[in-house]
Structures are given as structure tokens and as C-alpha cells.
């Protein structure tokens, strides 16, 4: 992927797939969805913030359906956005099991 091109959510998943091993993926799958953003905040969440969100200057609108200005304000916080990416990544991993 070009460095200047903002990745889609699916492309973010591909970047994460290359960065983490199967044991980490299994841990993400097995974590309660309500706990995912907190459990992985200081590990995968920070990596996503630094290596994907900041590097590609991502905005919530690039990845998610943003309903209103409040959604935009909340989701454009890099930490909140990384939590949402991890939650969607978890759903992506679970969907691959079936």
C-alpha cells in the first residue's frame, strides 16, 4: 500500500494481520467485546494509533459511518478510534472462523 493512501478498514486488518501472531489473534477472539478496547489499549491499541492512525492521518470518516458531529468528535480521538478498529478486527477474526 502506498504510504500516502489512507487504508480502508479491511486494509487496516491486513496491516494488523502481518504484525501479530496467531496467539495474539486467538486472545483477541476470546476477549469479551466489552473489554476489548481496555484490554488492548496499551498494546495493540497504541500500535494501531502510532503505526496506522497517525502514519496515514486517518479520520473516523475514512473507516466508519459517522452519524453526527458528536460521533465525529468522539471517534476522531486516536485512542477511541484504535479501540473501534480492534473491536471491528475482533469481529473480522470471528467471521473467519465460520
Q: What's the confidence (pLDDT) of residue 80? A: 87
Query: Could you tell me the pTM of the whole model?
Result: 0.86
DSSP at 65: -
C-alpha–C-alpha distance, residues 98 and 86, integer Å: 19
81 burial type by CB count under 10 A (0-12 exposed, 13-18 middle, 19+ buried): buried
pLDDT reading at 4 higher than 90 = no
Residue pair 38/30 in contact (Cβ under 8 Å)? The answer is: no
Average pLDDT over residues 22-41: 96
Least reliable range by pLDDT among 5-9, 27-31, 44-48, 88-92: 5-9
| Residue pLDDT, tens place only, 48-81 | 999 999 999 988 778 876 677 666 666 778 888 8
Across 6-28, average pLDDT: 96
Return the number of other C-beta atoms located less than 10 Å from residue 23's C-beta: 7
State residue 77's pLDDT score: 84
Amino acid at each position: 500500500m502506498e504510504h500516502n493512501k489512507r487504508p480502508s478498514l479491511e486494509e487496516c486488518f491486513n496491516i494488523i494481520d502481518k504484525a501479530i501472531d496467531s496467539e495474539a489473534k486467538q486472545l483477541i477472539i476470546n476477549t469479551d467485546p466489552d473489554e476489548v478496547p481496555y484490554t488492548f489499549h496499551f498494546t495493540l491499541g497504541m500500535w494501531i494509533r502510532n503505526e496506522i492512525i497517525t502514519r496515514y492521518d486517518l479520520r473516523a470518516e475514512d473507516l466508519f459511518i459517522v452519524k453526527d458531529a458528536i460521533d465525529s468528535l468522539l471517534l476522531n480521538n486516536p485512542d477511541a478510534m484504535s479501540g473501534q478498529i480492534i473491536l471491528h478486527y475482533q469481529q473480522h477474526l470471528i467471521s473467519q472462523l465460520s
